[in-house]
Amino acid sequence: MANPKPSPRILNRSFDRSASPIYLVNLDFEITYANPACGQWCETDLEQVVGVQCIFSSQASNATQNKINGLCPPPSHFEPQGPTSSAPRSFTAFTINENNQTSWKLAWTFPLNDADKNPLGLLVFCDPNTSQSPPEPQTESANLLPESLHTQLAELHAQSNHKHSLESMVGSSSFSRQCLKRVTAAIQCDADLLITGPPGCGKEHFARVIHTARSPERHIDLLTIHCTIADQKLIQQRIDEIPRSEKNSHSQTWLLLLDVDRLEPPAQHELLRFLQLPEFPFRTISTSTLSQNELTTVGHFSSELADQLSIMVIDIPPLSERMEDIPLLSQALLERDNNHRKKQLTGFADETLQLFFEFNWPENIDQLNRTIQLAARNATSTLIHPKDLPDEFQQSLKAMRIGTAKETKINLDEFLKQVEEELIARAMKEAKGNKSKAASLLGISRPKLLRRLHSFTDQSKAAPPQTSPTDEIDSSAFEELE
């Protein structure tokens, strides 16, 4: 007699006694069960884990959700492998403790089905051994796989020690590393800051990240002025609001000047007057399409105001100059929206990333973000494939390919000469060396054909030997010309 199948209660007791973290994730990405070992690894009560939705995102809005997100299997693991395949798949799970330290575990997912073989979710088993660093990809190409990019992002967020969004700054380029250092320095000091870069590169995002990181400890308000529409009167009105907020001794005010290079001269004069008043000791963060040097040399902008605003400077290059950041940057933007979209996505097919590398992104990060959002709506699987990319991107890429194609210069005389030689060679071959017949085939007189053959002979003697259509002409064809 066959042994009866173990009941769910017996399985639960077995899982509860296991030293390996074990948990269940349903099709809505909710954790429906977690054993005590899983709670210990996450350093949290099971009540804060079970019943909570995990999201395939490397960063969350709070510490508890951040821990749970690290348990989330890649969304591609929820897709059927095939009609007969039920083999487990592996991924790297992680959790982040209160000190922002990350521990990693190799995990396996097993698909769960009901009696009618309809999918129910995934059973996840984790290796009980922990590691303080994510596993290294075995090959360079594996470094671009979505799961690998996901763990790289988690590690970057943990190392940054920032509790705010970093999507525009992630990457492997030297710029990204230097930029994170500059942002950290800007957060820790009160110097007036100028952020420069081309449109769409994320200047305002950088400014708000710095404010958000500093605000919790200092209760800092942020007063925003759009300099493209600001005149002298608006500058006066907006800055007059600052003393009222400063009456609360527990708060400060920072002034965010967006597109300060577009500020008209009268408004520049009014702003500089306020900045030089000792009773207004507030910090300014300015964004500009012009660089610091361009601001100080351009005729319509006050060099004194430019110097006042740029005690500290962060220069952001165009996306086309930091293309090595594309994979991590794209993955970060995709995962950020996983927090808000109903369908979670894993990442990008390799062919999609290759198209991203080829494109020059004239509108920078804004254009990349817009392309990813539209492609995510079109995606029919958990990976974004080239066919999912929006028409706007596809057409722009085609136009770019045509525009960057090498120009071909045609020497008309040389081209016609080569055509003539080719036709004469064919006619002589067809006529088996008979010049009268060859001339008739070409529709020209015999003397005219002889003159053509003579000119070809003179040119071949003057030029270095090379293969040409006339090489096929028998030398006897020129006997009458000697």
pLDDT tens, 406-458? 555 667 777 778 888 888 888 888 888 888 888 888 888 888 888 888 777 76
Q: Please check the confidence at residue 99 and state whether its pLDDT lies above 50.
A: yes
Q: Please check the confidence at residue 310 and state whether its pLDDT lies above 60.
A: yes
Mean pLDDT across 263-276 = 90
Q: Which position has the higher pLDDT, 295 or 346?
A: 346
Instruction: Check: CB of residue 338 under 8 Å from CB of residue 64.
Output: no
The region that residue 237 occupies, defined by phi over 0 for left and psi between -120 and 50 for alpha, beta otherwise, is alpha
Mean pLDDT across 234-260 = 73
Alpha carbons 202 and 195: distance in angstroms, whole number: 10
Average pLDDT of the chain to the nearest whole number: 83
The pLDDT tens digits of the residues spanning 34-89 come to: 999 999 998 888 988 999 999 999 876 677 788 899 999 999 999 887 655 668 89
CA 260 to chain centroid: 27
The pLDDT tens digits of the residues spanning 108-147 come to: 999 998 888 888 999 999 998 888 777 776 666 667 889 9
CA 223 to chain centroid: 30
Q: Where are the alpha helices (DSSP H) in 34-145?
A: 36-42, 63-69
As to burial, measured by CB atoms within 10 angstroms (0-12 exposed, 13-18 middle, 19+ buried), residue 299 is: exposed
Q: How confident is the model at residue 258 (pLDDT cuts 50, 70, 90)?
A: very high
Q: Which position has the higher pLDDT, 64 or 10?
A: 64
Superfamily of chain region 8-80+87-135: PAS domain (3.30.450.20)
Instruction: Check: CB of residue 312 under 8 Å from CB of residue 193.
Output: yes
Mean pLDDT across 152-181 = 74
Q: Please check the confidence at residue 91 and state whether its pLDDT lies above 70.
A: yes
Confidence (pLDDT) at 167: 64
Q: What is the dihedral of CA 449, 451, 456, 462, to 10 degrees?
A: 170
CA 183 to chain centroid: 20
Element (H, E) at 421: helix 412-430
Q: Where are the alpha helices (DSSP H) in 72-170?
A: 146-160
Task: Specify the pTM.
Answer: 0.75
Fold designation for 174-319: Rossmann fold (3.40.50)
Tell me the CATH architecture of domain 413-481.
Orthogonal Bundle (1.10)
Alpha carbons 183 and 188: distance in angstroms, whole number: 9
The structural domains of the chain, with segments of one domain joined by +, span: 8-80+87-135, 174-319, 323-403, 413-481
Over pLDDT 90: what percentage of the chain?
41
Kindly report the CA angle at 282 between 281 and 284, in degrees rounded to 5? 135
Alpha carbons 74 and 56: distance in angstroms, whole number: 6
The pLDDT tens digits of the residues spanning 183-195 come to: 888 888 889 999 9
Confidence (pLDDT) at 429: 87
Confidence (pLDDT) at 463: 56
Q: Please state which of the four CATH numbers 2.70.98.30, 3.40.50.300, 2.60.40.10, 1.10.8.60 is assigned to the domain occupying 323-403.
A: 1.10.8.60
Beta-strand (E) ranges in 356-397? Answer: 383-384
As to burial, measured by CB atoms within 10 angstroms (0-12 exposed, 13-18 middle, 19+ buried), residue 384 is: buried
Element (H, E) at 226: strand 220-226
Mean pLDDT across 320-337 = 92
Mean pLDDT across 254-259 = 93
Where is mean pLDDT largest: 39-53, 79-93, 209-223, 346-360? 346-360
Q: How confident is the model at residue 479 (pLDDT cuts 50, 70, 90)?
A: very low
Structural tokens at position 254: 């920072």
Q: Which position has the higher pLDDT, 199 or 458?
A: 199
